[in-house]
Amino acid sequence: MQTFKDTGLPEEILKAIGELGYETPTPIQSKTIPEILNHGNDLIALAQTGTGKTGAFGLPVIPQVVTEEKRVQALILCPTRELCLQITKDLQKYAKYYKDLFVTPVYGGTEIRTQMRALKKGSHIVVGTPGRMNDLINRKAIELGDVRWLILDEADEMLNMGFKDDLESIMAQTPEWRQTLLFSATMPAAIAKMSKKYMSDPVELSVGAKNAGASNVEHQFYMVQAHDRYKALKRIVDVTPDVYGIIFCRTRQETKDIADKLMADGYNADAIHGDLSQAQRDMVMHRFRKKHLQLLVATDVAARGIDVNDLTHVINYNLPDDIEVYIHRSGRTGRAGKKGIAVTIIHSREMHRIKAIEKIAKKTFERKMVPKADEICEKQLFSFLDRVSVTELEETSPVNALLPAAYDKLANMEREQLIKQFVAAEFNRFMEYYKDAPDLNIYKEDRGRGGRDRRDGGRGRDNADFSRLFINVGKVDKITSGDIIGLINSKLKGVTVKVGKIELLRNFSFVEVDKAYEQDVITKLSKAKMKGKSVNLEVASPKPSSSSRRRPQSGRKKRY
């Protein structure tokens, strides 16, 4: 097994990273460090987010900087403020035993004059975002004529974010003899074009296949109706009590809406988007990194530079337009050798996009079924009981003073009753919410009918003899076919009732059920409520032919 010493790094660097606990280089570091130390060739390094790219270029560049010369010798460009600060922090740790080496971050969203003063004092390595770097160049606050290393980190993301002109303007200020190091997770056409224009016979190094997803990320998708996305999201989160992840949305407004809904529903969630001030963004990110938030809702642009190694999930509320963006998103979980899960919520007409990602990313997606109420409630209960069982009460805790009164209050309860009351107090509201929750999944037969929402749980008509029932709720009550199926399933537990066609009309609906369970369905459902409205069912005549002029409800036969 290769060690950092084998790469040729000097003792000062080895000592610093040894104190950080680094023992063996990552695959991309193994390839790039010797190349940058021993050769002056331009370099294209392809590797996913979280594979140690900062170390891949920072560890070999730092010992080559001439600290006696107070000029900018290395320029590192990255897409966001967060990544800029993270790179700076890492480089300063690596350079711990190079006392006279100075690293300066420059980025937008903060006072430019403060950064100008820092640069005037002298800096050897500058880490910056393209927009702010251009501002500094235009103000003649930075001189790039002595730059030996020009490093583009997450180059594909900078191009995706529209920084092409800024990058070209900055590169024009650096000498032609510089060594250009381009690091990217993917290799889109724009990167290939840039390398031909601005790089000289670059060496290409990669970890894994181009545009391939991270190897330790599991890819899953759920298929629901588009209007059920948020309901599905909640169930996915609820069935995973320990989730710690990022939810990606398409637009700034969608990000706000989803975050607001999650917070209103009691989840530890918040959003980052372009409308936040830098101070607000910093506060949200601080809470997320400290795990005071379980869920961070973000757009792709706002999430650039987020550096969190232990995310359990990345959830795509919508699929991105570009496959490379999906690869970037999924690469934010499963980092630092840990396992991760990338979840995507799709509707019936998006299956071809899943297939396209599978082909390019060379990953297989697993179809998962949106969990039902009983599965969610069981998971939540066991998670709660696990938390209770490992909770420690210190002798100095103020809770101890309250225990005698609690013992007296509960003294008359038997063990079983106490547990029952304990669980009920914690879960009554939660279980009430899922009481009549419908099946949100779309099945194959639904897709075959153009994606219409039949939601019969895969039972279909088969050869069953169906009875057509009139039900006094309809579209005006905001009822869906799934709501009716869910009510039947919840009220006739342990019984498989075949459901046929469901017709949703304005003020009422018709549903076909197995004739053998006709009276059971009417009896059980007539005692229920849907969306706050008392349900009433009657047996209706078979659906009239298209030539019939009778009103649909005129064929009632009997009432229970």
pLDDT at 83: 85
Note whether residue 378 is domain-resident. no
Structure tokens at 548: 């019939």
Note whether residue 376 is domain-resident. no
229 shares its domain with 285: yes
Beta bridge partners of 204: 44
Cβ 394 vs Cβ 458: under 8 Å: no
Which own/partner pairs from 162-168 qualify as long-range (CB within 8 Å, at least 24 positions apart)? Answer: 163/79, 163/130, 163/131, 164/190, 166/130, 166/131, 166/133, 166/134, 167/77, 167/130, 167/194, 168/198
202 shares its domain with 222: no
- Give residue 11's domain range: 5-206
Residue at which a domain ends, from 182, 206, 230:
206
Low-confidence ranges of the chain (pLDDT < 70): 1, 48-50, 208-215, 304-305, 307, 336-337, 426, 429, 444-464, 493-496, 542-560
61 shares its domain with 189: yes
3-state secondary structure of 272: strand
64 shares its domain with 171: yes
Note whether residue 29 is domain-resident. yes
153 shares its domain with 180: yes
Give helix then strand counts, H and E, for the chain. Answer: 20, 21
What phi, psi does 516 have (nearest 5°)? -65, -25
331 shares its domain with 390: no
pLDDT at 195: 83
Residue at which a domain ends, from 174, 206, 238:
206
Note whether residue 142 is domain-resident. yes
Note whether residue 58 is domain-resident. yes
pLDDT at 454: 41
> What is the tally of structural domains in the chain?
4
pLDDT at 444: 57
Q: For residue 357, what is the domain's CATH number? A: 3.40.50.300
Contact partners, residue 407, CB within 8 Å, separation at least 6: none
43 shares its domain with 111: yes
72 shares its domain with 194: yes
156 shares its domain with 65: yes
Q: For residue 528, what is the domain's CATH number? A: 3.30.70.330
Note whether residue 373 is domain-resident. no
188 shares its domain with 315: no
110 shares its domain with 181: yes
Residue at which a domain ends, from 145, 174, 206:
206
Contact partners, residue 254, CB within 8 Å, separation at least 6: 317, 318
pLDDT at 49: 66
Report the C-alpha gap between 205 and 203 in whole angstroms.
7
Note whether residue 349 is domain-resident. yes
E strands, 52-178, in order: 74-77, 103-106, 125-128, 149-153
307 shares its domain with 406: no
**CA quadruple 537, 540, 543, 545: dihedral sign:** negative
Note whether residue 240 is domain-resident. yes
Structure tokens at 103: 């690293």
